[in-house]
Amino acid sequence: MFILNQWMPIHRDDYDYSLIWMTAEHVSSFQDVVHSAYRHYFLHGGRMVTVFCLDLFLWLGKLWFDIVNALMFVALVVLMYFHARRSVEWRQEPVLLAATGLLAWLAFPHFGEVAVWKSGSTVYLWSAVPVALFLLPYNLSLAKGRPVLGSWWLLPMFLLGLIAGWSVENLAVTVVALTAGISWYLRRQGAMAGWMPAGCIGSLLGLIGLVAAPGNFVRYDDQGSGKGILDHIGNQIAGNAEMVLYILPLILLLLCAWRVFKMVLAERQGVQIARGGAELSYRQWALLGFILLLVVSYFNGSFVAWTVRDILYAIVMVPLGLTKPKTIDHFDNLFKGFDEMAIYWLTIFFVYALVKKRLGLSAPVIRQLAEMVKAHEVWQAFPAVRYAGGLLALALLNNLVMLAAPTFPARATFSSVAMIITATIAILRDPVIREYFSGHARVVLGAGAVGLALFTLSAAMLVTYTLRQENDARLAIVQAAAAKGEPIAYMDPIPLKNRALRHVFFADFDNGVTKDGLCKYYGIKDIKVNMEKDSRR
């Protein structure tokens, strides 16, 4: 994470936030940091805490930001693991701690945008960490049936609640509702401590400060004007659907675990389930070979993607007359991430098929289990299922809060995905699941995890390093133009378009947000990218 942050350049909105908000003055002192956050609160939005952190570290310097941002990611992984265990012991299950980190790396939507890019990570990653820390004592108290903190924690929890509530809109609402519900429940059980309602009140005040900001109404007038309820519902469908694409490994793991729970209950009734063999079928060997071919292609110019693109162009696009330059450009964009997405999806389904086979979950067995064991029986028999089910419901409600927002991009599902990751780890550490997975699918899951990790990590590192070099070369052109007093900087486009599973977030210098911020930051009027020299690779 630190290396990725080091290689990720200042980008897009970072330039705007390096200036006192909506001015051309550079942030050059702590007073400027405060003044910029204050202006942002009244002119753009209520996320004053995250904006203050962003402005502060942009002023302190990129190295400090890179260090803290990497630590924030590690902190979130550990906190999700604590919530899954409902305990603060972290040395007992190193494999599951590593699995938490891997699932966070794979499942967070638009990872480069929400966990590496500075303006994005301070909003989503930096909000999630204090919230997860704030909610941990509530979760532990609920699990133990007694308060885990003493009375002197009243003020610290109030202040931490204030920060947690002043985070991101949907997460803040969830925090207030959750702390209020837990406090009420434990009060009825005679186990409530004073820091519980104090933290809830702090989060409520933070939420009020977040949503009542004058800047929110300014931004809503720009983004939400004229949008009816159908638009908001459409946003929900699109945002949740994209989230599902990212959490596919979690969904398949939970699906296998659910069937294993059913299998255990069936075996307790005397039913014997036949295990599948370990050998690969010829189709699976062929699929594995194709995945390896795609990996070679990815690191050698994506020749598979462009071959498929050329074939489809010849037999589909040309006969249909879809040859306008803009149409072709959109068609090309589709294939700029073809290899890595194909590797990712095919590997996941390949591993899933093998895990099912090792666990004995053939189609007839799955149908038999569906008839023999009902969902409510699984729910009642396993506490981990009830806990994970509560987290999944909470994640869906956390997304539903965004129904009031004018937009709902997939990155806004970040906190919900954190809850789903926590639910998945809670299921994986259940003794029944650990026994079955360790006994029958450990090798397959381990190989799949290592393979996906190595590919995505190496791809992200390669693309980020290359983009950093391309960015520095073009930034030198902008700086030279500014030094000479030239109003326009001319440059060639960045040839590399690979997105590395969205673990890299970058747009060329002619992108509107990037260009506007850069021009204002360096004091030039425009940036021109010579599109005639653009390359599809």
The span from the CA of 410 to the CA of 421, in Å, is 16
Q: Does position 404 have pLDDT exceeding 90, yes or no?
A: no
Q: What local confidence, expressed as pLDDT, does residue 220 receive? A: 65
The whole-angstrom distance between residue 38's C-alpha and the CA centroid of its chain comes to 28
The residue-averaged pLDDT of 224-239 equals 77
Q: Does position 274 have pLDDT exceeding 70, yes or no?
A: no
The residue-averaged pLDDT of 147-153 equals 93
Q: Does position 13 have pLDDT exceeding 80, yes or no?
A: yes
pLDDT digits (tens, 9 = 90+) for 58-93: 999 999 999 999 999 999 999 999 999 999 988 889
CB atoms within 10 A of CB 221: 10
DSSP 147: -
Q: What local confidence, expressed as pLDDT, does residue 145 receive? A: 93
The span from the CA of 54 to the CA of 4, in Å, is 18
Q: What local confidence, expressed as pLDDT, does residue 104 receive? A: 97
Q: Does position 536 have pLDDT exceeding 70, yes or no?
A: no
Share of the chain above pLDDT 90, in %: 68
Label residue 228 by pLDDT band (50, 70, 90). confident
* Among 79, 109, 44, residue whose Cα is nearest residue 399: 109
Of 270-274, 439-443, 447-451, which range is least confident?
A: 270-274
Place of tokens 């891997």: 102
Q: Which two tokens stand for residue 316?
A: 């589909």
Q: Does position 225 have pLDDT exceeding 60, yes or no?
A: no
Q: What residues have CB less than 8 Å from 471, skipping those under 6 apart?
A: 9, 11, 494, 506
The span from the CA of 35 to the CA of 32, in Å, is 5
Average pLDDT value over all residues in the chain? 90
Label residue 277 by pLDDT band (50, 70, 90). low
Label residue 533 by pLDDT band (50, 70, 90). very low
Q: What local confidence, expressed as pLDDT, does residue 229 receive? A: 79
Q: Which two tokens stand for residue 211?
A: 């949503």
Q: What is the largest CA-CA distance in the chain?
A: 84
CB 84 within 8 A of CB 69: no
Of 92-101, 158-167, 233-242, 328-337, which range is least confident?
A: 328-337
| pLDDT: which is higher, 261 or 324 | 261
Q: What values do phi and psi take at 213, rounded to 5?
A: -60, 135
The residue-averaged pLDDT of 407-414 equals 89
CB 202 within 8 A of CB 162: yes
Share of the chain above pLDDT 70, in %: 95
Q: Does position 276 have pLDDT exceeding 60, yes or no?
A: no
pTM to 2 decimal places: 0.92
| pLDDT: which is higher, 21 or 277 | 21
The residue-averaged pLDDT of 165-183 equals 95
Q: What local confidence, expressed as pLDDT, does residue 423 receive? A: 98
Q: What residues have CB less than 8 Å from 7, skipping those under 6 apart?
A: 461, 464, 465, 467, 468
Containing 103, the helix (H) or strand (E) segment is helix 94-107
Q: What local confidence, expressed as pLDDT, does residue 244 receive? A: 92
DSSP 19: B
Q: What values do phi and psi take at 534, rounded to 5?
A: -65, 150
Of 163-172, 177-186, 383-392, 505-514, which range is least confident?
A: 505-514
pLDDT digits (tens, 9 = 90+) for 358-393: 888 888 888 888 888 999 999 999 999 999 999 999
The residue-averaged pLDDT of 118-142 equals 97
Of 3-17, 83-97, 465-479, 519-533, which range is least confident?
A: 519-533
| pLDDT: which is higher, 395 or 407 | 395
The span from the CA of 312 to the CA of 315, in Å, is 5
